Structure 1
Amino acid sequence: MNRLLQLFCCVGLAAGLGPAAASAEQPLDLARDDVRAFIEGAQERHGLEPDAVRAVLGLARIQPPIIEAISRPAERVRPWHEYRKIFITEERIAAGAEFWRQHRDQLERVAAESGVPEEMLVGIIGVETYYGRILGRYRVLDALATLAFEYPPRSAFFSKELEQFILLASEQGLEIDGPVGSYAGAMGLPQFIPSSYRAYAVDGNGDGRVDLWESKEDILASVANYFRVHGWRPGEPVVAPAVPGGSDPAPLAHQGLSANTTVGALWQAGIGLAGPAPADPDAAAGLFAQEREDGTAYWAGFHNFYVITRYNRSLMYALAVHELGQAVRSRVEAGVDAG
């Protein structure tokens, strides 16, 4: 019997005895057709014992607040100026600077090896979990089971993530009903969903495990690896505020997650860029608008900006990560200069 099946057999023996089973109010109905289909599919795709998977699902609890949360993500219901206030705060910048100082050696090493700059790594962790202060409040098993079986718009996606989580728990020696994360089943300081954890997380300290909760080496190396795999280009600019000239920039703007124009086309339209930008007029760029308190503002995103959206498919998210990272770097550099 392999290690995976041993894990599941142990879970199966305990599933009806633990406090979770006794105290939960909304257990998953294992007799449902879609639950049975999931169990059969896990066996067909990965050779997982049906009784063992059934025992794992017996530990899951359906959480209605998860459905409410995923139906109203901040990126969709807030304008930019409200969304920005969540992440670009004095407290979060100060916490980021302290995180940077505490883990300077690891940050510098990972940045040098990967080409992903320190401010990007710090920006991601700061937006995702406030440097570990906000890791989520739902058991990952509950979140994924709820979305797999009670949220039809994305049930196929979350069914795959639930399957990936079962595999991940065995590979990394996680207690199947132990990890806590976001309402979407994202885990650890960088908030990787199970498929991303298995595909992109790396062992940064060489201890044979990938720990995205405690090991800063693993955490930083894994975030950097995610960006490297998705095409991060070292040394290239990310985003720049756009300065409209005499023409209306709106016709060139879009909210898509890829570049829709070029730097040269922006110049020809009379749009200036108030920040670092590619020197090549043929370089891809995307012009997008966001609402500030005093009206509409425009930015030009370049290749690396759209790489950030692969982490979270939101322009506002990518802009917040960039701004927070830059603010933290400025704070750290000011502190070094002052010292």
Structure 2
Amino acid sequence: MNSSRLFLSLLVASSFLSGCQTQAAEPGQRAAKARKVAVAADDGGEFANFSQWRDVSAFIDDMVVRHGFSRPELENVLARVRFVDSAIQLMKPAPPGRPKNWAAYRARFVEPVRIDAGVAFWNDYGDALNRAEQQYGVPPDIIVGILGVETVYGRNKGNFRVMDAVTTLAFAYPDTPTRTARMEYFRGELANTLLFARESGIDPFSLRGSYAGAVGWPQFMPGSIRSYAVDFDGDGKVDLRNSPVDAIGSIANFLVAHGWKRGEPTVFPANLDASSGNGWEMFLNQGLEAKFRLDEIRTAGIRPTVEPPADMLFGLVDLQNGGAPTEYWLGANNFFAITQYNRSFFYAMSVIDLGRAVRAARGG
């Protein structure tokens, strides 16, 4: 590799904290690692002649058979792709470090810069946010929270060519226990990039995003763009990089497609009753869904401090706090809908808390 390779800036790395429907990496770990390797906003990559790789040739064959692409066309496209080593480095597992710390994580996102920017964004795009709530049932504070965590309201969208990022990760993912599955995932995203470009009539190399291929204000992966992005500003095209209104509608549509229910709450604070034994432990690590009745939860010694509706299902959310006591919450269905955006309790709670803080700062 060329010793002069460029790496992502910390802000761009932070903009992909969600992994946007990509993986369950803890954003704090990814950002900490990025601080060590990131020095620039764009990695031009290096020539690798991907079109000559055996696995790429098999991928081209599949795209020709399944989607009707021309082999010479795809060979020419993939010959233009550049290898992005910084994407490989940032996908490597972070070394073991300190225990998870919710308070420290939250402080990175629920902070004055994002709150002030969120107020300005809400003021500027209040009509679109209200329209999204009317159409999809997703409140403005949730959409504002996601956009604040993802890209600080469009400030940190990333400037990598998506084709370079997803191709590199599809065929040269680092050696990790999940390498095979992750390469398969990114090959799917490479296919989606090519399909989206064809469907939209654009040059696939015109798409810019994070080091892992996430695009625009909401950091949607190409597959999510094709499945969930909407033309919410009515200009006849989906443009998540340049249209915050499209981003607003697309986030709402994504959440509804992943289980968001109009008018339902997200979380309720809870405590553990030490006198009830360890029965509550059975509710830990039970997946990203609300599936337990309130009476089951109470019987195990989990006590909500704000009374939730008795007819809803919940999951136990544990927010580890380093050496301090763990915070516990009861996550309702809509909380777990947010985790489909990023498979992390920390992420979902930071979205909720940032949205609440912005709403409060506006006087709402």
- Please tell me whether the aligned partners of residues 271 and 302 of structure 2 are also in contact (alpha carbons under 8 angstroms): yes
Residue 241 of structure 1 corresponds to which residue in structure 2?
Answer: 269
Q: What's the offset of the Cα at 1:279?
A: 2.9
User: Does the 8 Å CA contact 1:26/1:63 hold for their aligned counterparts?
Assistant: no
Which AA in structure 2 matches 1:299? Answer: W
Identify which of 200, 205, 210 aligns with 1:172: 200
How far residue 24 of structure 1 moved from its aligned partner, in angstroms, is: 4.8
- 1:89 and 2:111 matched: yes
Match of 1:274 among 305, 319, 324: 305
Q: What does 1:205-244 align with in structure 2 at a 5 Å threshold?
A: 205-244=233-272
CA distance in 2, matches of 1:165, 1:29: 16
**Structure of higher RCO (CA pairs closer than 8 Å, 6+ residues apart):** 2
Instruction: Tell me the secondary structure at the aligned position of residue 333 of structure 1.
Output: coil
Equivalents in 2 of 1:176, 1:317: separation in Å? Answer: 30
Hey, what does 2:68 align to over in structure 1?
47
- Are 2:155 and 1:127 equivalent residues in the alignment? no
The Cα RMSD (Å) is 2.1
Query: Is 1:285 matched up with 2:314?
Result: yes
1:14 counterpart residue number: none
1:258 to 257, 274, 289: 289
Provide Cα deviations, 1:169-191, integer angstroms capped at 9, x if missing partner: 12224332222212221101111
Unpaired segments ≥5 residues, structure 2: 1-43, 174-178
Alignment partners' CA distance in 2, 1:271 and 1:214: 46
Q: Note the 1:1-339 alignment, pairs <5 A.
A: 24-72=45-93, 78-151=100-173, 152-153=179-180, 154-246=182-274, 247-248=276-277, 250-255=280-285, 256-275=287-306, 277-280=308-311, 283-293=312-322, 294-333=324-363
* Divergent runs of 4+, >6 A: none
For 1:207 and 1:238, locate their aligned partners in 2 and report how far apart those are by CA, in whole Å: 33
Post-superposition shift, 1:276?
A: 6.2
Give distance in 1, aligned partners of 2:88 and 2:305. 41
2:160, 2:210 within 8 Å by CA — same for their partners in 1?
yes
Residues 279 and 260 of structure 1: is their aligned pair in 2 closer, same or farther, counting only changes over 3 Å?
A: closer
Structure 1 residues 173 and 225 mapped into 2: Cα distance closer, same or farther (>3 Å)? same
TM-superposition CA deviations, 1:78-136 (whole Å, max 9, x none): 53233222211121111111110111111111111111111111111111111001112
For residue 222 of structure 1, report the CA deviation from its aligned partner.
0.9
SS across alignment from 2:51 = coil
Percentage of pairs with the same residue: 41
Counterpart residue identity of residue 269, structure 1: A
Contact 2:46 2:84 in 1 (8 A): no
- Larger mean CA deviation between 170-179 and 183-192 belongs to 170-179
- Segments of 5+ residues of structure 1 without an aligned counterpart are 1-22, 335-339
Distance 1:24 1:252 in 2: 47
Inter-partner Cα distance in structure 2 for 1:57 and 1:178: 14
Structure number, greater radius of gyration: 1
Q: Secondary structure at the match of 1:243?
A: strand
Quote how far apart the aligned CAs of 1:260 are.
5.0
Which whole-Å CA distance do the structure 1 matches of 2:152 and 2:125 have between them?
15
Contact 2:63/2:191 (CA < 8 Å) preserved in 1?
A: yes
1:297 CA drift (Å): 1.5
Number of aligned residue pairs: give it: 309
